[in-house]
Structure 1
Amino acid sequence: MTGTHTTTAPAAETRWRPHAAVLALGTFAVGTDAFVIAGVLPSIGAELHVGVAAAGQLVSVFSIAYAVLAPVLAALTASWPRRAVLLTALGVFALGNVVTALTPGYGLVLASRVVAAAGAALYTANASSTAAALAGDRQHGRAIAIVMLGLTSSLVLGAPLGTAIGAAWGWWATMWFVTALALVAGPFIALRLPEVGGSGRVGLRQRLLPLGDRRVLRVLVGTVVVFTGIYVPYTYLSAIFADATGGDGDRLALLILLYGVAGTVGNFLAGHLADRLGPRRVILAATLLLTVVFLVLPSVRGTFAAALPAIAVTGLFSFSVTTPQQHQIIALAPESRSLVISLYQSSLYLAISLASVLGAAGLTAFGAVWLAPVAAVCTLLAAVLTWRGGRE
């Protein structure tokens, strides 16, 4: 038995935008949770009586759990109606954050981040694939870009607001804030999102068949490589631009804000261009331009005036990759949308973890000035993988 789409073709062509915007509410909550923890790490460490490094493991545990659980949960829920999956995901995500806010012990807080990551992983992959299904083949890129707007806006608005709430009322208040965002998104999805059926009762082995497609694997490998490159300089932004900011937190916050705003613009442009020119061309252009930017970055990182346009261009091209990649991987396995997007999300979060480790090693061994060139090697390799994929 296979699932059915209850939306009609005209609805997919003309009325998908409000539905994608509803889905973006959930990605805003998920993105805020992922980004805001870094802003409240010192207070988490102080209250749980652990160092900042130990508190930082909350980020690592979340990322690793997300990467591992995304494809597993996508396979287990493949036959469910998409609205039920999305609401369940938000419920699990909210539960994880409630436990984080209420738990006094470090070990249980770590466990609660696994629960929150499970909900986040299940939600994000299904939000992108559902939006693509509603929009139709010709507008995949624009639909995914709107859903990803929730992610980029969480960097610009959600994370700073959550950090401010944590500074005023404590880090646990930040967790309640994230929970509230998820609970606000739920009713909109329940009441406004059209029903989209699952793909029927198929075994786990069949669900994983896309992994046997070399083209799918190439996209996933390219995702790991390019986002490792993107997140190495972003994770250690404060070290790279230490001379430009002079240790001023306000200047650093402005750089992060500018990065997020530019990323939002890049995400929208990439979505439109992917629909018009094809996703591979957009990915290739973005990765090559990022390579140039990262190679130039060491020479402009010393002054704040030069850092501003440098960080804007970096954000613009960094967020020009994710929407075309999702567009591309859906086109390769349209009958397994949710699964391949979940594999894509796993690859992305694996890259975040690798970037943290690689960046720390590079910072210790060579200093901050070499982090951007290391990132350039990754983005250039991703460009080569993308180019070779188009020739087969």
Structure 2
Amino acid sequence: MRPRLLLLALGTFAVGTDSMVMAGILGRVARDLDVGVPAAGQMVTVFALSYAVLAPVLATLSARWPRRRALLAGMAVFTVANALSALAPDYAFLLATRVLAAAGAALYTPTATAAATLLVPPERRGSAVATVYGGMTVATALGVPLGTYVGRSDWRLTMWLVVVLGALALTGLALLLRGLPTSTGAPGAAGGSGTARAPRLGERLRPLRDARVTGAAGTTFLFFLTINVVYIYLATAVRPATGGDAGRLTLVMFATGLASVAGSWLGGRAVDRLGARTVLLSGGAALVLAFAALPWLGRTMPGALTYAVAAPLAGWIVAVALAHRMASLDPANAPLLLSLNSSALYLGVAAAGGAGSLSLTVLGARWFPLTSALLALAALGLVAATTRRGGGTAVVDTAAPAARTPHKVTR
């Protein structure tokens, strides 16, 4: 079972690298395609917005497919799209390929998460899902700095790296994922015999009628908007420290990745001890300080590395708390709620591309991180307004790494 989980994780590693490595190559893309850095940053916006919109739609359209078919289709589309990105003759064509890549990622990632739970006994499902999601976390530590370094002379080499990763995952899944078990009564699945109707799109979005859910989703959106306004244009923010040197930028991205992994690991433990509300407020406050200090920290390498550790560490701790909070609202429907949380996350990333571009244009390369400091303050206010002291619910085992064991969570 373990090799097949690792293959699923290789696919999410490719997706994570593709979605996050753009921060390290925007300058080269801009120069090659003769556009400004803010315009190049819209690649991230287009990918994230497409993912957020297409994920629930594709989940509905493919609900009756065998999971193996959905996995192979998603990874094939993702891989081909990145090959087209590498060959893009102009900016418009590149943006179109990012939509196609997002469609493949939006089909693959949720399906891989569900497939992981079928490859292990029920008592190990949380660990299985953590393994698959771990591919995306490891991408921040290894894939992003590797992609940044590979693309130091030509950004298209970075895209070919993603193609290789996708092709390896696709080949492995095609060869080794035969006979994938199906969930009991899965409609239309190979080997399934149940007749349960797949949820329609409207049913998947119905929880948004609950004010608690919309408050939690809104908080996720605002926090990820805040974080990615700076992350997408991080190379610009720390350029005084790196001097445009690819090796120095790779070091900054590597520190960012390691801090992200550490934050993801610490986040669950912090929520266990302190509750989601406390973690969100304290982590959000740390983000305000980090963003406010970046115009000065970004002038030197020690300062840039300090930011590269502090902001991602706080950001990923907050991300885990956001997922815990959402799942706690209705543990019986936690997988569905977490899918809405994921869509809110990607909408935040999408909005950050435009917001960061505008901020960069208005405030300039040094001062645009102050926009994130103000947004983080707004996110803190939303947390204070939509959560309450005390109380909570136990989160049961769900198909998400942030809710894989019982936790006491403050809503």
Q: TM-score, normalised by structure 2?
A: 0.75
Give the SS at the match of 1:321: helix
Give the SS at the match of 1:202: coil
Q: Deviations over 1:234-265 (max 9, x none)?
A: 23334544554455554333222211111111
Q: Which residue in the other structure is 1:86 paired with? A: 71
Counterpart Cα distance in 2 of 1:70 and 1:389:
33
Q: Unaligned regions of 5+ residues in structure 2, if any?
A: 187-195, 392-410
Q: 2:51 is aligned with what amino acid? A: Y
Q: 1:259 to 1:172 in 2, by over 3 A?
A: closer
Q: Structure 2 matches for 1:224-373, cutoff 5 A?
A: 224-245=221-242, 248-274=245-271, 282-295=279-292, 297=294, 300-332=297-329, 339-367=336-364, 368-369=366-367, 370-373=370-373
Counterpart Cα distance in 2 of 1:298 and 1:45:
23
Counterpart Cα distance in 2 of 1:366 and 1:88:
43
Q: Which residue in the other structure is 1:387 paired with? A: 387
* Alignment partner of 1:180 out of 144, 164, 188: 164
Q: Which residue in the other structure is 2:58 paired with? A: 73
Give the conservation status (yes or no) of the 8 Å contact 2:262–2:313: yes
Give the conservation status (yes or no) of the 8 Å contact 1:23–1:127: yes
1:225 to partner: Cα distance: 0.8
Q: 2:374 is aligned with what amino acid? A: V
Give the conservation status (yes or no) of the 8 Å contact 2:229–2:353: yes
Q: 1:306 to 1:325 in 2, by over 3 A?
A: same
Q: 2:135 is aligned with what amino acid? A: G
Give the conservation status (yes or no) of the 8 Å contact 1:290–1:376: yes
Q: Structure 2 matches for 1:72-221, cutoff 5 A?
A: 72-128=57-113, 131=116, 145-167=130-152, 170-189=154-173, 191=176, 195-197=181-183, 198=186, 200-221=197-218
1:96 to partner: Cα distance: 1.5
Q: Deviations over 1:190-226 (max 9, x none)?
A: 5359535357423332232222233322221111111
Counterpart Cα distance in 1 of 2:363 and 2:87:
41
Q: 1:377 is aligned with what amino acid? A: L
Q: 1:141 to 1:60 in 2, by over 3 A?
A: same
Q: Unaligned regions of 5+ residues in structure 1, if any?
A: 1-14
1:228 to partner: Cα distance: 1.3
Give the SS at the match of 2:51: helix
1:181 to partner: Cα distance: 1.0
Q: Confirm or deny that 1:25 pairs with 2:22.
A: no
Counterpart Cα distance in 2 of 1:389 and 1:89:
42
Q: TM-score, normalised by structure 1?
A: 0.78
Give the conservation status (yes or no) of the 8 Å contact 1:224–1:347: yes
Question: Comparing 34-43 with 349-358, which one deviates more in the overlay?
Answer: 34-43
Give the SS at the match of 1:121: helix
Give the conservation status (yes or no) of the 8 Å contact 2:12–2:132: yes
Q: 1:81 to 1:185 in 2, by over 3 A?
A: same
Counterpart Cα distance in 2 of 1:287 and 1:52:
28
1:66 to partner: Cα distance: 1.6
Counterpart Cα distance in 2 of 1:286 and 1:359:
21
1:29 to partner: Cα distance: 0.3
Give the conservation status (yes or no) of the 8 Å contact 2:264–2:316: yes
Q: How many pairs align?
A: 376
Give the conservation status (yes or no) of the 8 Å contact 1:44–1:171: yes
Point out the structure with the larger helix share: 1
Give the SS at the match of 1:195: coil
